[in-house]
Amino acid sequence: MKTLFKIILLLSLFFYCTKKEYRYEIHGKIYIPTNGLSGLHDAVWYADSIDYSGDTLFYINSNGTRVNIRPPYKLIDHKKKK
């Protein structure tokens, strides 16, 4: 009985600890004011759904806030690869 419990526990941990796969991966730049010459820094966003407003890409966070990503950016759709 203890062996069965251990197997069930290990299997449940395995299934609950898998990595979340997002549909879109977006690579771009964000502005962070620093003491350096440029305030632009590389950034990566992950989202399951996106939309466009002109040339600006955006998605809605789970808390309802809107994230705007201005060009240039690189959009990778992970569902198209399969």
- Pairing of β 40-47 and β 51-53: unpaired
CA dihedral angle for residue 18, residue 30, residue 74, residue 77, rounded to 10 degrees: 30
In this prediction, residue 25 carries a pLDDT of: 94
In this prediction, residue 44 carries a pLDDT of: 93
In this prediction, residue 14 carries a pLDDT of: 64
32 pLDDT higher than 60: yes
Mean pLDDT score, 15-37: 79
pLDDT confidence bin for 60, thresholds 50/70/90? very high
10-21 pLDDT, tens per residue? 666 666 666 678
